[in-house]
């Protein structure tokens, strides 16, 4: 067995996604727009449109652009986003072929509605118990995303999640994310049973990515250790960790947490309101960096794989390079296993 296409789990991912290559470009708010998603689809992969905090009419427009282009695509919905209810209605009404639920756990009824509209549903699983819960709810596939990933993250590394989730749920397609930026890693994940991989940081730097040139140049020069996760200051204000390149913006978020904790103590706002203000900060800071190029005060959400990516190139070239390296690694692995 020396070819990617001959791998059992590679074919499983192909069949589930309906694509040539089971490689997913993960949803990145303000970055994963219709143009980038279509570029990934044209290159044989699966692009995921990021609904994020997008206005409802814009989300509808973006989905229609992808439908008209005949692209392979999924729509990522953030369950904690203010527009989530409107977003799910649009995705269901427009019959998005895949709906990815992120941010928190979707309700069982929401998965059922999406499935009834013809969508395949994909949920994130950061622990074994969450994986089982999402399967019981009716999810068609899972994404296990390690803490090496960029943006909002869990607390467990990809290598541990592979052992907790990938190895324990062989009956459902599982896509692995977090810290992936090479064809060699892709090859070994398929050999371990992954149905596919999801990558974000490498596609954020693509020529087709709408991210500001200064944003991409900062990523190009970054080292892995610069992408750190923001801490939670106090349990009275639960904050989902965000991995990003350290700058003045991350310092500003620390100050915001202290202000919100003070207001909580003085009963000036509820915990839900405080959490909303924290999320509102990240949405605005990310837009500031991605669209305006403010790399000092904006949010540079990035996975630790940023240290492995030092070139800005087209999506087609990204895919070609990853696939060529993965193909070579499968041959190396076969030779090692067979002793030839």
pLDDT at 336: 84
The answer to whether residues 187 and 4 touch, using CB atoms and an 8 Å cutoff, is yes
DSSP per-residue codes, 88-108: HHHHHHTT-SEEEEESSPPPH
Q: What is the pLDDT of residue 127?
A: 87
The tokens for 138 are 């009716």
pLDDT of 1 reads: 47
Predicted pLDDT of residue 60: 97
Q: What is the pLDDT of residue 340?
A: 58
Res 2 pLDDT > 50: yes
How confident is the model over 155-168, as pLDDT tens digits?
899 999 999 999 99
First to last CA, the chain: 12
127-150 residue pLDDT tens: 899 999 999 999 999 999 999 999
Burial class (CB in 10 A: 0-12, 13-18, 19+), 261: middle
d(CA 338, CA 289): 49
Residues 157 and 304: their CA atoms lie apart, in Å, by 11
Q: List pLDDT tens digits, range 201-213.
A: 999 999 999 999 9
Residues forming a β-bridge with 144? 176
Please report which confidence band the pLDDT of residue 304 belongs to, taking 50, 70 and 90 as the band edges: very high
By percentage, how much of the chain surpasses pLDDT 90?
77
Give domain limits for the chain.
Answer: 4-210+315-338, 213-304
| Least trusted range by pLDDT, from 4-8, 52-56, 293-297, 322-326 | 4-8
Average pLDDT over every residue of 288-310: 94
What is the per-residue pLDDT for 115? Answer: 97
Span 302-308, mean pLDDT?
A: 94
**CATH superfamily membership of 4-210+315-338:** Aldolase class I (3.20.20.70)
Choose the most confident range, by mean pLDDT, from 7-11, 33-37, 336-340. Answer: 33-37
Predicted confidence (pLDDT) per residue in 232-273, tens digit: 888 888 888 889 999 999 889 889 999 999 999 999 999 888
Mean pLDDT across 89-101: 97
**Residue 53: pLDDT over 90:** no
CB atoms inside a 10 Å sphere around CB 32: 28
pLDDT of residue 272: 86
């Amino acid at each position: 067995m020396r070819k990617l296409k001959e791998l059992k789990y590679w074919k499983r991912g192909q069949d589930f996604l309906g694509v040539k290559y089971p490689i997913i470009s993960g949803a990145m708010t303000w970055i994963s727009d219709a143009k980038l998603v279509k570029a990934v689809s044209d290159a044989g992969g699966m692009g995921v449109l990021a609904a994020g905090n997008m206005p409802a009419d814009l989300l509808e427009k973006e989905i229609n652009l992808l439908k008209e282009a005949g692209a392979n695509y999924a729509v990522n919905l953030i369950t904690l986003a203010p527009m989530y209810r409107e977003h799910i209605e649009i995705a269901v009404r427009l019959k998005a072929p895949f709906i990815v639920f992120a941010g928190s756990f979707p309700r069982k009824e929401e998965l059922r509605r999406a499935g009834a509209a013809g969508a395949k549903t994909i949920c994130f699983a950061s622990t074994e118990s969450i994986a089982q819960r999402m399967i019981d709810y009716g999810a068609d596939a899972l994404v296990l995303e390690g803490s090496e990933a960029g943006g909002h993250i869990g607390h467990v590394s990809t290598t541990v999640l592979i052992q907790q989730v990938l190895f324990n749920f062989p009956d459902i397609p599982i896509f692995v994310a977090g810290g992936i930026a090479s064809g060699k890693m892709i090859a070994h994940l398929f050999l371990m049973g992954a149905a596919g991989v999801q990558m974000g940081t490498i596609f954020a730097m693509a020529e087709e990515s709408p991210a500001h040139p200064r944003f991409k140049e900062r990523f190009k020069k970054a080292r892995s250790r610069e992408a750190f996760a923001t801490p939670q200051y106090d349990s009275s204000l639960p904050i989902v960790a965000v991995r990003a390149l350290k700058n003045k913006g991350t310092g500003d978020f620390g100050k915001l947490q202290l202000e919100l904790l003070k207001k909580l103590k003085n009963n000036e706002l509820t915990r839900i309101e405080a959490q909303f203000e924290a999320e509102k900060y990240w949405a605005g800071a990310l837009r500031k960096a991605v669209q305006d190029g403010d790399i000092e005060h904006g949010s540079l959400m990035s996975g630790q794989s940023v240290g492995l990516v030092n070139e800005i190139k087209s999506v087609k070239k990204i895919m070609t390079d990853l696939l060529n390296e993965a193909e070579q690694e499968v041959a190396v692995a076969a030779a090692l296993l067979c002793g030839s």
